[in-house]
Amino acid sequence: MSPWVWWVWALPVAAAAVWASVSGPPWAAAAAWAAVAVLVLAGLRERTWRRAMRRAAQQVRDGRPVEEDNPDVADLAAAVESRLRDLREGWEGARREADRLREVVDSLPWGVVLVDGRRRVVWMNHSAGTLLGVHREQAQDLSPVAIFRRHEVDDLLERAQQRGEATQDLEGGTVLRVTVRQLRSGGFVVVVQDVTSDRRAEAVRRDFVANVSHELRTPLASLRAMTETLRDGGLEDRQLATRFLDQMLQEVDRMSRLVNNLLDLSALEAGVVRLRWEELQVEALLEAVVRRYEPLASRKGVSLGVRSGGERVWGDRERLEQALGNLVDNAVKYTPPGGRVEVAAEIRGDEVHLVVDDTGPGIPAEHLPRVFERFYRADPARNRAEGGTGLGLAITKHVALAHGGRVEAANRPGGGARFELVLPSRARP
């Protein structure tokens, strides 16, 4: 009640008190004046109390501690403050929890998009922005189809609404696996994964099995044919028998080379090969490799030379000889008689380049980026005829990687191929 109400009531009572004082009995005047005093005091008390309440409310609103003499107001303010504190703590706890959850979802490698019941994007994490190539702020309130730029997403939402969850791989330059789950609270959560490399690995695995089977089937078929011919009377013909036995030996050698290369490559790829590190004289390394391939080169009429200074590298002698040997072997194999293969070492910056140049046909430009893949051949028929396993360059690449280096293939301007095995020249840490 406003204090004025008390004072307005006091006015007629005061008028009555005046009247009683003038013409009424004295007891009536005393009673009327007492009533006036009570009403005025009640008004004053009400005003003080109201002001105290207003001050306290302002202090609470300003977030200041309530300082009030009036014990009732102070009591009420303390109760309000304590409830406010509880609420504030609860709210801050909830906000911290929400922030933490957001941070966790934001650091996930998968894209996460929240879609509301109207099928509009509410929020997305950092990975979703990167995977979909959209700014998070701009995605808000857009339809999922607009941010995925794929109409299939509408279908997925529909299926998720009916069955609770739906998944589909969206094929394109990159393959995105999109899983939509309906939320109990309404709306959907959309999880996006980039499965391009998984798909590629799957394809490589499939190709690998197919390639190994093919590589083994061919020599096995010819071994079977020759064995059958020998069994069915071929042994009587001594000349034919000798030729077949030589060929059979070659096929067996080829298969064991393939198996050895496969074992080597899988060990290198799995990183289980322990390198025996030592400081090596590059000249001695190159000469050892060239010496091994000299008989093959001279049989083919290809000249083989070494050019090297006093470079040194750190590495595993046996593995480096194997890697470089594969390059020299190919160079001799693919260079026609009368050609030349040159092996050289050069220091460039803090790298040592072991270069193998040949005067062969070179490698068609479109095949260059892929020659280090397992079983990749620029000219399959010809390469198989040369007796290669199709794994030599893949092994060389992995030996280089294990040494912290790399291998590069190019065509020389004057014709022929150039392979470089690049190794860091610093000592192994």
Site for ligand ADP, rule CB under 6 A: 326, 330-331, 334, 358, 360-361, 363, 371, 376-379, 383, 388-394, 417
The nearer residue to ligand ADP, 188 or 334, going by C-beta atoms, is 334
Instruction: Look at residues 160, 161, 116 and name the one whose alpha carbon lies nearest to residue 142.
Output: 116
CB 92 within 8 A of CB 110: no
Q: What are the start-end ranges of the H helices in 107-140?
A: 126-132, 136-139
Of 113 and 321, nearer to ligand ADP (C-beta) is 321
In the complex, the smallest distance separating the C-beta of residue 132 from ligand ADP, rounded to whole angstroms, is: 39
- Using the minimum distance from each CB to ligand ADP, give the nearer residue, 182 or 326: 326
Residue nearest to ligand ADP (CB): 388
The CA distances from residue 246 to 206, 218, 242, 251, in Å, are: 34, 17, 6, 9
Identity of the residue, 282 or 393, whose beta carbon is nearer to ligand ADP in the bound complex? 393
Q: 170: buried, middle or exposed (CB in 10 Å: 19+, 13-18, 0-12)?
A: middle
Judge contact between 68 and 89, C-beta under 8 A. Answer: no
For residues 219 and 216, give the distance between their C-alpha atoms in angstroms, rounded to a whole number: 6
Please report how close the Cβ of residue 410 comes to ligand ADP at its closest, in angstroms: 11
Number of helices followed by number of strands (H, E) in the chain: 13, 12
User: Which lies closer to ligand ADP via its Cβ, residue 55 or residue 406?
Assistant: 406
Q: How far is the CB of 404 from ligand ADP (least distance, A)?
A: 22
Nearer to ligand ADP, 148 or 334 (CB): 334
Report residue 181 CA to chain centroid gap.
23
For ligand ADP, give the closer residue by CB, 153 or 264.
Answer: 264
Closest approach, Cβ 337 to ligand ADP, in A, equals: 15
Residue 372 CB, shortest distance to ligand ADP, in Å, is 7
Q: Do residues 66 and 56 make contact, with C-beta atoms less than 8 angstroms apart?
A: yes
At closest approach, how far in Å is the CB of 250 from ligand ADP?
Answer: 15
**What is the closest distance, in whole angstroms, from the C-beta atom of residue 409 to ligand ADP in the complex?**
7
- Using alpha carbons, select from 425, 422, 188 the residue that is nearest to residue 310: 425
Nearer to ligand ADP, 48 or 322 (CB): 322
Contact 183, 193 (CB under 8 A): no
Nearest distance, CB of residue 328 and ligand ADP, angstroms: 9
Dmax of the chain from CA atoms?
166
Q: Which is nearer to ligand ADP, 29 or 355 (CB)?
A: 355
Contacts of 120 (CB under 8 A, 6+ apart): 141, 142, 143
Cα dihedral 195, 196, 198, 202 sign: positive
**Closest distance to ligand ADP from the beta carbon of 323 (Å):** 11
At CB < 8 A and 24+ separation, what contacts does 276-279 make? 276/316, 276/317, 276/318, 277/314, 277/315, 277/316, 277/428, 278/314, 278/315, 278/316, 278/317, 279/312, 279/313, 279/314, 279/427
- 377 vs 406, which CB is nearer to ligand ADP? 377
Angstrom distance (rounded) from CA 335 to CA 354: 19
> Shortest Cβ distance from residue 243 to ligand ADP (Å)?
24
Neighbours of 236 (CB within 10 A): 9
